[in-house]
Every structure is written in C-alpha cells, then in structure tokens.
Structure 1
C-alpha cells in the first residue's frame, strides 16, 4: 500500500495528553457545582420550588444578563483559569444557590469547547490531510433535491473530511468508521469498534441524543445494564465514578447558539407541564407515573384541553376537575412564567459545558489507545444550522 502525503498528522498542533486531561478536569470541576441546575426537571419546577431552591436572584436579572452575554464575544485564546475557590464563589457555600450570575455566565463560556483551546480547526486538519489550502466544501456536490438545508450542510462538509482522510491513509479496501449524529450509545460504541479492529484505519464520529447515553455510575435497573456503558469512557472519569444524570444529559442536547441567534424556547409547553404537575400533586395525590403525557400539547388548543388530554394519558380521571378549577391553577402560576423562562436559559447556558465533558471523555479514551497516530475534536458544522457540530476524529498509526 502506498501513501501520498508529506506532512504527518502527528505534526498537527493538538493538545498534549496532560493539557487535555487538565481541560477535562477543569470542565468536571465546574460541572461539579453547576450540575444541580442542569439536573432539575422542568416538570417539577413549581412542585419543588426549583427557582427558590437553586437560584438566589430575580428572573429578570438572569434574562437581562443572558442578553448581555449572548451571543458571546468573538473567540479568544483559551481562558480556563478557574480554581476551586473561584468556582465556589459563584454558588453560596451554605445554600448552594447560584448567587454570582455574571461569574456563572463567564465560567460557563470558559468551560465550553469553543473556548478551552482543545479543538483542531477544520481548515488546519484538511490542509494536513491534503497538502493544500481548503476553504470550503466542494459546491459542485448537489444535495438540495433530497435533503433539507441542515442535512445538506452536514453531508457536504463531512464528505469532504472523509474523502481527505481516505486519501491520506491510502485506503482502497480497508475501512473508515463514519458516524453522523449517531444516537446515544452508538457514538461511543463506534469509537470502541474503531479502537478494537485493526482493519479500521480511521474514525469520524459526530454523536447526538446525549440523553439516551447509558451511564455506568447512574442508578439503573438490573435488566437495563448494557454490555458497554456509553459514559464515561476514559480512565480518569471512570476511576472517579463520575455521573452526569439524565436531566443534565437532556440539557446537553439544548442549542445555545440557536437560542442566542433568536430561536425561542418552547416556553408555553414547559409552563403547561409544570402547572399540570402541581394539579396532579394537589388534586390526585400522585406525582409518579409510568405513563407519559405524550404529545398532548400539540393536540391541544388551550390549557384546559392540554390538562384533560394529559390526565387521560396518565390514566387519571380528568372529569374530576371542572374547567374553572384548571384555569385557577393556570392563573395562579401565570405570573411566575419568567422564573421558568430564566431557569431554562441557565440550563441552555450549561449545555455546551456538559457536551464538552462528554466529548472530552471520548477524546481522552482515544488518546489512551496505543495505536493512535492522531486524534482530535473538530468543529465540522455551523452550530446554528447543526447544533451537534463537533466530530471526534482518530487516525491509527500507518
């Protein structure tokens, strides 16, 4: 097999192992104090008094601060410099409430992949792979007849990267492992297969659906135990028994760049669900159910319709409550919608940090393998068009 390259990937500037681990632990340390916000379930927002439990400030202050900070300033050099004392000042040491909002927003930015200085630029990667400057995907490829704009954007960029990797490795019959928005555990299992099979020379994996990841150190039923856990993968986080939690992983699926660009959160549906939970608790003495409300919101024209449809789906007697009673609950909490809106903004702000921990864990796993020539995190896509925009890429020694 012959190869047609002159610049080895090993020469491509990527964080050394100690620096990568340092960044991983910095994100872990920040999330160790911030995860309670991400793990709070919106459905329990009013029944648990989540705002008063976790936030020491007004919702108006949160929304105003978010507007000042997002979209953030252009990306600068990595700014992670927080120590434990700096992080604890963001949250009250006794109540653990968020008390320094400005510092929280800055810390969340500084612990996201865009700012911690571990990612490889797409252009740099392609230049090393192809020995020439590559500015944009080949526009001659036409996909708009059978794909939407989002998928077309993804395929144009990723196909160029895969073609470059294949040419770099001189691949004719051997394999490359490719995953575009592989759901849940499929993404980490893709990396495991790549590491284990000698015939697979490279991997390019873009995951999604973090909420469907299995976590080794999260309490789960015995029968749901997978053969291989989705998270954590690297030795450091496994040694610590680190766990994010399902609600935090749900938060990681949020799209900060889209919200900063003006996309509106589904506030009304979140509000309806949170008020419904109050009704269930106070009128049915029931807060736990194996059933789900399903698509009640999309099928309803108003709050009353939503409640009746949801109660039916949950197996509760919806005829027990008159319309007037349901509307009383709606009006009782209507004035507190800003609390819910502001709290969900805090969860959105944390989403890139949780995603960073998950993806850094995967990259560290690849770095632990002794047959890697190069591995890195590369932003492939426009995060507004495609929020899950980072690829974990690995190339084996040739």
Structure 2
C-alpha cells in the first residue's frame, strides 16, 4: 500500500543493535540516583573523572580529544570491570543507537508523501503545521489531527475512536475541523464530562465564527483588498476569517477577540484562533446574553425558533461533526461495539496514552476487525508493566509487545523506563535537570541509613523539596512525613551531611547526564518493539514509526502508525 518503510527483518536487526548496546549500558540507567551515595554508584560504574563526563556531555562531544582506551573496550566500557573508560565512545554509541541515529523513522512529511499513494486528494481541511508552534498542545493537536484525517480519508472511514481522550482537545478538533465522528474514551468521568462541556462551547464558537465568515463574504465588495499598494486577491479569505464579529447573534460576543493582540488579529488564520481558544480555554468564559424577561414578544419568538433550529441541526447525524465522550476503562479485550452503538469502520488514535494503554491500543487494533488504522503516541514508560519483571504479576503486560523480544525474555527495569521519560533534546537546548532536589534525596538516604536503618522509606517522602528553604528544613520535613524521631539529629549534624556530600555533587550530576544520554536509546527500544509487533501481524499491510512533533515542544514525539489490509 505504501513504500519506503522498513521490513520486519530490518526492524529486528535494529532491535538487535540497540540491545547489544543496552546490554552493556542499561545498568547505568537502572541505578537509582536516590541510592547514589549509599551504594557508591560512581566508583562502581565509572573509571573516568566526573569533570570529563560533564565536559563531554555539555559540549555534545564536539571537542573530542585523543583518548586511548583498552583495545577490547566495547561502546566505551571495559569488559572486565564493566566500568566506563571512554566517555566519548559511549556518547557516540548512544547517539547511533537512538531512533534518529538508527535512521528507521519516517518524518511527518515523508508519511504524508507516502499516503498520497492511497489518497491523491488530501482534502481542503489540511493546514500548515508551521502556523501552530505557539504552544505545546495546539502543536500536538494540529499535527496529529492532520495525519489522522489522512488515515481516515485513505481508509474511507468517517469514525474515529480516541482512547485516553482526556480533556478532549484532539477529539474536538478532529470533529469540528475535519468533520469526523469521534468517540473519545477515557477512564475518568471528570475528564469525559469536562470534554463534553468544552466541546459544546467550542461548537458555539465555531458556528458563530463560520456564520460571521459567511456574512462577511456576502457583504464584501467584489473589488480586491489592497495592502501596502500591493493587490492581494488571494488573501481576501484569510483576512475575512481572522476578523472577529462584534455581534454574531450567538452566545459568544467578543471573548476570543479580547484576548488577541490588535496587531495580530489580521494575521492569524481561523485555525489559529480555534487552537488558541482550545489551548487557553478562553471559550470557558460565560457569555453575556439578555434574559428572556428583557426581550419583546417578537424577540422571544425569534430566539425560540433559533433554538429549535439549532437543536434540530445537532440531532441530525448527517448535519455537521459529532464528538461523543465515553467513560470506560479499556483494554485489548474491550468490545468496542458494546461501548459504541452504530460503530462502523474506524481509525483508532491515542495522543500520549499512558503506560500500558498504548500497547493495549495496538493489540486492540490488530484484534478488532472494525479498526482500519491506528495512530498511537505513547508516554509514561515508567508505568509500563513488563512480562519478565521478577516482581511483576500482570496477566497481560505492556512490554515487550513483539514476539521477537518476548522470545528473548528481554527486561528493561523500572528505573531504566523512568530514564526513558527524560528529554535529551530539551537539555541540549538549555533546560537542565533539577540537580539540587536529586542531591537532597540522595543525601537524605544516607541519613536514613546511618540513623534510622531505613533504605526504602524515603520513597514516601513526596515533594517536600518545593516547600523547603534549606537542606535542614528539607530533612526535618521529610522525617516528619516519615513519622521518624527528628530529635536525635541536631541541625549542625544535618548540615554536616550536606557539606560533606556537596563536595561530591559533581559525581551525581555527571551520572545523571549519562542517564539522560541513554534515554533516547531506551525509548527507541520500546517503540521498535511496538513497530516490530505490527510488522509481525498478517492482517497489517503498513506500519511505521513517524516523528510527528517537534521534540522541543513535545519530547514524546513519535507515533506508531499502522493500516490493515483491504478486506
């Protein structure tokens, strides 16, 4: 159906490459920073100075100098001691074993080009993603909805099932912008009820806006719009769309217009305005409308007639798009037809589905004949259940998903999966790691060991760091929360721990940087496993990993996409 995508064998080869690297480096990612000083982690893993690691990571290895390591070192690690002996070799290996380094992902543009083999006309609703980089949510919603709309058009379906729909941002946009019938399923009733109310108000905004655009078009002279003495016939529609109505006859007077800067009003497209409203929740403002008691008899009759016509329009399934929030906990075994009456062929989507929900949605896509395509962007890898976790007891697990990795009994570990959630791209552009809070926790662990014989209770401390102005206050708050006797520790002794380990804080910082560089490799293995799973299925004709989002705006930027064979 589409070309230029890797074969199952090629995906398996890439999985093997990542596994060979992680088999050596994964132990670093699985070392818990809380136990950094109690387990003397630096001496256990490192045979290089922390200053050398920090310099290499911060400069991205640009200023590499000659560094001889043992001839039999692999990926910068000594096979005998298993310690890191060459930081530059390790950083290069990490780069090569990330998804960009493996060269196995499609770009968003490459995917759209491939889709043209299925559908030559992408539809007039498709818009330019570069206009929507102003916020994380609008960027994600716009980019993903365009891909989903292409999938729906290529599969000739009009129904979308959005699992883990949350507040309904993606569902609302797919419904109103692309005219798709969307069912948003979320396990939280608070989310689904809120999504329904938000969608209702968004539809009010959309109808008022469309009505104004039509009236403006009818009232605009046939002459051309001129700006800076240059004729701009082609821009007339854009200008009409961006001018908000002073009175639309609807319940939304000037809510959106009031929040736009005057010099930007005539620059943004209608989609910009919609997405700004979507991301800022501006449309939640209660509109001012004259009560019926203040209307004349004729005005009341007119309003009544308008309400009847609006209700008639909304009740007709053939008139306009539809978004239906559903509260339900779904798994791969969930019978969608029991949740959704009138379900036909549909595209399954999920934007940042947490933990096991992402692999469950892929299993659902494979198992359900009514699902024609899937577009899944997962997150929260630390919440994944692992089949070969010795402490796990789940009947169905989220990792590994593919038979290929299951046959090898591959196990990552929770700390490694937690590391996979880190955002290397953001760090590379100046957004650092909260080192002081990590340092406080690690030193607290030493205090608990020395004075309370406790090694695990610190996990229940929670976020006391943000409430503390000093390390002494942090420790006292933590001990109170743990219901431990704080009287045995005077302030000067607590401060003494801080001062002693402060001299070794660069070790913790350097080690955290190494975990950060491994994050894309661990995430890459998890996503390659999901792609491999789809490649293994006989009823899937096309599958790919696609980078949908700008990683600076949305670190979990990769989508797993699949299409069923024609039935």
Q: TM-score, normalised by structure 2?
A: 0.63
Corresponding position of 2:98: 112
In structure 2, relative to structure 1, the CA distance for the partners of 1:137 and 1:297 (3 Å cut) is farther
1:278 is matched with 446
Q: Once superposed, which parts of structure 1, at least 4 consecutive aligned residues long, lie more than 4 Å away?
A: 139-144
1:53 aligns with 2:44: yes
Correspondence list, 1:111-130, <5 A: 111-130=97-116
Higher relative contact order (CA 8 A, sep 6+): 1
CA offsets per residue over residues 352-396 of structure 1, 9 Å max, x none? 000000000000001111011100000000001100000000001
1:92: how far off? 1.4
SS of the counterpart of 2:541?
strand
SS of 1:375 mapped into structure 2 = strand
Match of residue 191, structure 1, among 355, 362, 380: 362
Corresponding position of 1:28: 19
CA contact under 8 A between 1:112 and 1:353: conserved in structure 2? yes
Q: Distance in 2 between matches of 1:315 and 1:187?
A: 38
Superposition deviation, residue 174 in structure 1:
1.5
Offset of residue 140 of structure 1: 9.4
Of 251, 257, 260, the residue aligned with 2:425 is: 257
1:43 aligns with 2:34: yes
Aligned residue for 1:67?
Answer: 58
Which stretch of structure 1 is more off in the superposition, 291-300 or 352-361?
291-300
Deviation at 1:312, TM superposition (A): 1.7
Tell me, in whole angstroms, the C-alpha distance in 1 between the residues paired with 2:371 and 2:62: 40
1:89 CA displacement: 5.5
**Residue 321 of structure 1, aligned match among 485, 489, 492:** 489
1:88–1:141 Cα change, 3 Å? closer
* Contact 1:33 1:87 (8 Å CA) reproduced: no
- Pick closer, same or farther for the CA change 1:389–1:356 going to 2, 3 Å: same
Determine which of 283, 296, 306 is the counterpart of 2:464. 296
> For 1:90 and 1:314, how far apart are their aligned partners in 2?
41
Aligned-partner Cα distance in 2 for 1:361–1:155: 25
Q: Does 1:101 align with 2:100?
A: no
Match of 1:82 in 2: none
**Larger Cα-atom Rg:** 2
What SS does the aligned partner of 1:320 have? Answer: coil
The 5-angstrom pairing of residues 236-385 of structure 1 reads 236-289=404-457, 292-385=460-553
TM-score using structure 1 length: 0.88
Determine the structure 2 residue equivalent to 1:212.
383
In structure 2, C-alpha distance between the alignment counterparts of 1:34 and 1:342, rounded to whole Å: 15
Is the partner of 2:445 in helix, strand or coil?
helix
Q: Distance in 2 between matches of 1:338 and 1:289?
A: 25
Secondary structure in 1 aligned to 2:466? Answer: coil
1:138: which partner in 2? 127
**Alpha-carbon deviations, 1:96-128, whole Å to 9, x = none?**
111111110000000000110211121121123
Check whether the contact 1:71–1:261 (CA below 8 A) recurs between aligned residues: no
Counterparts of 2:511 and 2:498 in 1: how far apart (Å)? 19
* Superposed CA offset, 1:39-88 (max 9, x none): 0000000010001110111111001111232799xxxxxxxxxxxx9772
Kept in 2: contact 1:291–1:313 (CA 8 A):
no
Counterparts in 2 of 1:32 and 1:159: CA distance versus 1, 3 Å? same
Q: CA RMSD in A?
A: 2.3
Structure 2 gap ranges (5+): 64-70, 159-343
Seen in structure 2, the aligned counterparts of structure 1 residues 168 and 32 have a Cα distance that, compared at 3 Å, is same
